[in-house]
Chain A
Amino acid sequence: MIGVRIEPGHAVTTYLYTRATVAADGTVILLPCDAIVSTDLLRSRQQSGQGTSTLTFTALDASGAAMASEPASFDAPSCDAWGQGTAVVSLFLPVDPKRLPVAVTASLEGKQASTLKLPPPTPGDLKFTDSPAQDELVAGVRAIAWMSESRDPSDERHSVWYTADGIAWIPLDFNVLDGRMTVDFDSLPGSKQAQLRIAAARGAAVSETRTPTFVVSTPPIRVTVTRPAGTVVVAPGQPVRVEARASRPAGGPVADPTAYTWSSDLDGPLGTGWACSLRLKQTGMHVLSVAVSQDGDLVTEPAPAKVTVTRPVTSFVHTPSAENTVGSATRLAHTPTAAERTSLVQVTCLCRPRDTGGGADPQAVAVRYADGVWEIVRLDGQDIFQGSAFVVDFSDPGPTTFTHLSSSDGGEAAPVKHQLLHANPGALLLVTPVQPPYTPPAPPPSTEPIAADLREGRWRIRSQSAAEIATGSAFNLEALIPGAQAFLHIATSRNIRENATYLDHPAVNEQPAALVQISARVDSGASRVRNPYPTGVWYDPGQQRWVIVNPGKTAMPEGATFTVAVSHADQH
C-alpha cells in the first residue's frame, strides 16, 4: 500500500490521501481513499519494506505538465490491496488541488503507470442554520449548526474553523458527524471581524461556507480559579490552598508565576503564584480573588468558594457549683479537651453585679492545670463567688493561640513576640493568666488585673496596677484581627453607665446567646487610661446589649479600652 500526501503550498492545513495497489504483474492502480486522519497516522504506517522496487509518483496539472515528483521504495512482491509493504511520499504542489484540477500518476521503475484524477470540487453545498449574525456580539457557550445539501452527507467529513483576522484559521473540531457543535467563544481570540468556517471533504472534493463577520469580545486573559472548592472553614493563620490557571485565548497559558497575585477582600494582598497556601487573618467570610497581569493586561477573577475564618475555640459557660468548686478554684470537667494539658484556656467572668440585680461581682482569675483537669482560680485566694459564671474558650496551641512566658526584662510589662502581632497596630489580644503544668512550677500568676499594651509597635502584658510581673509568669494569649468575631471597644460618655460600658457591635447586639470574652488594653489614645479592677460581662435584656462591668459601684473610666471576642456555644 502506498500513501500519497499532497500538500499544496498555500493551503497547508488541507491535504488529501490516496493509495496505490500493485498487482503481481507490476501494474500500479491508484484509488480514491479516505480523508487523511493525521500526519502521525501516516507516519505510523511508514513501516519500511524491503525496498526492492521504486515507485515514482508525479503530480500533473490540467495540461498534463508535471508539478512535482517523488519516489517511494517498497517491497512489491509482498503487496496486495491492504498489504504489508507501505510507503508514503509527499508531493508539495504550487496550486490548491481544491481549486484546480490535479492528477497523480504512479509508475513502477518507469514501466507501468496509473493515473488518478482528483474529483472536481463541489463548492456551495453547505449552509449555516444557526450561527452568529452579521456584527452580532457573541460570548460564552453557544451552539452552531449547519447542513449539507449533498445527496449523501454521510460520506462527508466536516471541520469547523475560526478566524479572528480573516487570515489565520484556528481548527475547532474535525470529523463532525451531525452538523452541529457547541463553541465556547470565551476561549477564542477576540475580534470585531470574527468568522466561522465549515469545510466539508468528500474524498478529494472540498467545499466550505463561512459566516458573516461577527464580534467576539473576550478578556485578554482568561482566568479560572480551581481551588478552593466547596465550603472552606479555617482558623486564622491556618493555610488555605488556592490554585488558578490563566491563559490567553489561543495564546497559551500565562506561565509566569509572578503574574498571579492573590488577595482577600478582608485581608488585602496575600501571596504570589499559580498556587499557594494563604494564611487569612481576619475572622469572617473572605472572598478570595486572583489578579493576573501580563503585557499590560490585568484580569481579576474571584474564587467560586468563599472561605470562612473563625476563631479556633470551643466555647461554653462554666458555672461553679458545690460539686466542682473548692475554695478559690473551680474545676472545668465539662469539655472533653479539658484533660489536655497543652490546651489554651481563656476565661471571662459572666456576672451581673449584685448592686444591679445580679448575683456576683467580677473576679480576677487565672487558669491552671491540676490532677488532669483545668481549673479557674481566683487570684486573690478568696472563695469563688456563689452565683458567678465564666465564659470559657478552649483551643489547641496554634498560629493565633499560644502561651507567652514573661522574660527577664519583663518588669511591669512582659514583651510579646508573635507573627500576627508584629507591626500590626490593628491587632487585638485576649489575655488570661495561666500557671503552666510543669515542675518545677512557674511563678504564680500576678494577683493584679492585667492588660495588653501596644506601644511603639511592641506588645506587652502589663499589670493594671503597675505591679511588677515576675519573670516566668505565663499568659494564655489569642491574637485576633478585628472582624466578625473580634473588635475593640472604648468606653465613652455615650456608652458608660456608672460601673458599666455598653457594647454596640453587630456581632453581639441582640445576641443573648453569644459567648463574650474580654481583655483590657491600656494603650488607647493619649491618656493611657487604666482600669485596675476585675471586669466581667453580662447581657442587659432591657437594652439588648452586652455590658462590660466593674465590681460594685466602681465607676467605669472614660477611655477604658477592651478587646472583645465573640463565639457561640459548642463552636468548633
Chain B
Amino acid sequence: MPGRVYVTATEVTQGVQTYAVTDRRVPLLAWRRTYMRVLVRADPDANGDWTGVTAQLTVEGSRAGALSPVNQFSITVPATGSHRNTLDDSFLFELDPIDTRDGTRGFTVELIPPAGRPMGDSSGLRADGSMTFESNLAGLPVIWAFYGVRYRYVDIPPADQVANGLTSSTWPERPWSDLELDSGYAACILPVAYLALSEWPGNPVHDVEWADTYTAGRAWATQLADMLPLAEGEGFGVVVLQPEITDRYQGLCQALGNGAFCINYHGTFLNGSSPPLDYGTTLAHELGHSMGLCHTPNVDATNGCQDLSFRRADGSVGDYIGVGPLPPTSYPAGPDVFAAVPGENPDGTVAECDFMSYSTVTGQQPVRWPSPYMYCKAMKGSSVDSIDPAGIDFYAG
C-alpha cells in the first residue's frame, strides 16, 4: 500500500500570526515582507521515510511564477506532522513583494514528492487559499520614517578613558551602518511596510562634552526633532545612536509637541561584554513607543506607561510563534537565515518575551519578538488607525 504526503495547514505571516484554529488573523500589511508556512504530514510505506519532498507556491496573477521554499528546498516529511515551533520539517516561502500589494489574491501550494516514488491518495498534495493585504487610508504602504543622527563624546578625562577602554579623549560615533542594521532588524518586528531611515540633512555628527553625559546628546537630537515641521499621519522623528555599547539595554522615546518623536539609545552586546551586538532590539522597543505602545505590566511604572490589558504578567509572548530572518547575530550580512520564534517551549515554559517588556529568558539570546497583541496594537499606531485589527483584546490572552 503506497503511502502519501499531504498539506495539513498553511499560514501567511509577516512576523507573527495566530493559530489556524482561531477565527482571528493578524492583518497583513501591503508591501510588508510576507512568508507562507506550509505544514505537512506523511503516511509512510515500504519505501521508508518521505525524504526529498519539495513544494512550490503559486500566487494568483503573479509574474514570479512558481516559488521554491526559502528555508530548504526539500525535506523529510514527518509522519507525526510538521512541528510549528521549527522550520526544519515544514516549508517556508517568501512572497514576491509585488504580490503583497493592496488587495486579495489566491494562492496554491503543491507538494512535489520524489520522482518515481509510488503515491497513494494524492488529494492532499495541493492546498488553495486566499490572502488580503491592507494599506493605509490613502492606499499607500504603512511607513514609519525617521532621521538617524549620531554623536561622539569629547574631552574625556584620562581616568574615564581607561575605565571605558578608550585610547583618546574622544569616544567616536557609531558607524552609520549600525543604524541601518538596527533599522533593518526593527523592521522585522514592527508592523510597517517600510521603516524609512534617512540621514538628517548634512548627516551631522555632534560633539558632546563628556561631562554633559548622554542627556546632552539626547537634548541635541530633541532640538533637531523639534525643528521638524508639524505633520499629520504616519510617524516621523529623530533617532540618535549613542556611542556607548554596554551589556545593558537603554533607550528613551519622547513624543514632541509637533507630532514628532525623538529616540535615544545605545548599543548592547548579546550575552555579555563582547560582540556580537544585539542589532535592533532596543530600537524596535523604542519605536514601539513611538507607535503608542506601553510596556508590558511587569515593567515598573517608573519606567513609563504600562499596558494593563496585556494579560501575561511575566511579559511573555504566549503560545504564538513568530517567523523572521533571525537570529540578530546572523542578520547583518549574507543570505537570510530564517527561524521560527516560538513564544513557548514544548513543555509550556516561556521561550520568548514580548519586545515591549524588559524581560529576557535566562540563558537565551534576547530576541524579544512581538506578541500578536502588541503587534496589532502597534499596527493601529503605525497606520494611524486606518487598519484596526479586530479583537485586539483577544490577542492579549
Contact = CB atoms under 8 A, between A and B. Distances in A.
Interface in B30-48: 31, 33, 46-47
Given A39-B226, A175-B223, A272-B97, A226 B180 contact: yes
Interface stretch (B9-17, B195-203, B344-352): B195-203
Contacts of B222: 37-38, 40-41
B63 to A, nearest CB: 9
A184 interface: yes
A377 to B, nearest CB: 16
A342 B97 contact: no
A175 B220 contact: yes
Contacts, number: 192
B256 interface: yes
Contacts of A141: 203
Contacts of B199: 184, 187, 247
A316 interface: no
Interface stretch (A67-75, A94-102, A436-444): A436-444
A159 to B, nearest CB: 9
Interface stretch (A399-407, A493-501, A526-534): A399-407
Interface string B208-239: 01000000000110111111000000000000
Contacts of B332: 229
A275 B33 contact: yes
B201 A438 contact: no
A494 B396 CA distance: 76
Interface in B71-122: 73-74, 94, 96-98, 114-118
Given A184-B203, A342-B51, A436-B114, A252 B257 contact: no
A276 B97 contact: yes
Nearest to A171: B227
B145 interface: yes
B361 interface: no
Contacts of A234: 335
Interface stretch (A120-128, A238-246, A506-514, A562-570): A238-246
B68 A399 contact: yes
B201 A245 contact: no
Given A174-B220, A187-B201, A438-B47, A277 B257 contact: no
Given A171-B224, A176-B207, A405-B115, A396 B202 contact: no
B198 A247 contact: yes
Contacts of B336: 239, 241, 277
B140 interface: yes
A490 to B, nearest CB: 30
B198 A277 contact: no
B70 interface: yes
Contact of A40 (B116, B140, B220, B254): B254
Interface in A285-299: none
Contacts of A231: 334
B57 to A, nearest CB: 12
A117 B179 CA distance: 46
Contact of A253 (B54, B145, B201, B205): B145
Contacts of B384: none
Nearest to B180: A226
A419 B227 CA distance: 53
B223 A273 contact: no
B198 A252 contact: yes
B143 interface: yes
Contact of A240 (B73, B200, B335): B335
B334 A230 contact: yes
A174 B223 contact: yes
A113 B258 CA distance: 33
A147 interface: no
A249 B184 contact: no
A38 B333 contact: no
A326 interface: no
B257 A37 contact: no
A227 B334 CA distance: 8
Contact of B196 (A175, A184, A255, A403): A255
B194 A257 contact: yes
CB-based closest 5 A-B pairs: A436-B116, A342-B52, A273-B97, A403-B115, A253-B196
Interface of A: 13, 37-41, 43, 141, 160, 162, 170-178, 181-185, 187-188, 226-232, 234, 237-241, 243, 245, 247, 249-250, 252-253, 255-258, 271-277, 341-342, 396-399, 402-405, 419, 422, 436-440, 442, 472, 474
Interface of B: 31, 33, 46-47, 51-52, 54, 65-66, 68, 70, 73-74, 94, 96-98, 114-118, 140-141, 143, 145, 154, 180, 184, 193-194, 196-207, 209, 219-220, 222-227, 254, 256-258, 262, 325, 332-336
18 contacts: A13-B227, A37-B222, A38-B223, A39-B258, A40-B262, A41-B222, A175-B220, A176-B206, A183-B202, A188-B202, A253-B198, A274-B31, A274-B194, A276-B97, A342-B51, A398-B68, A438-B47, A442-B116
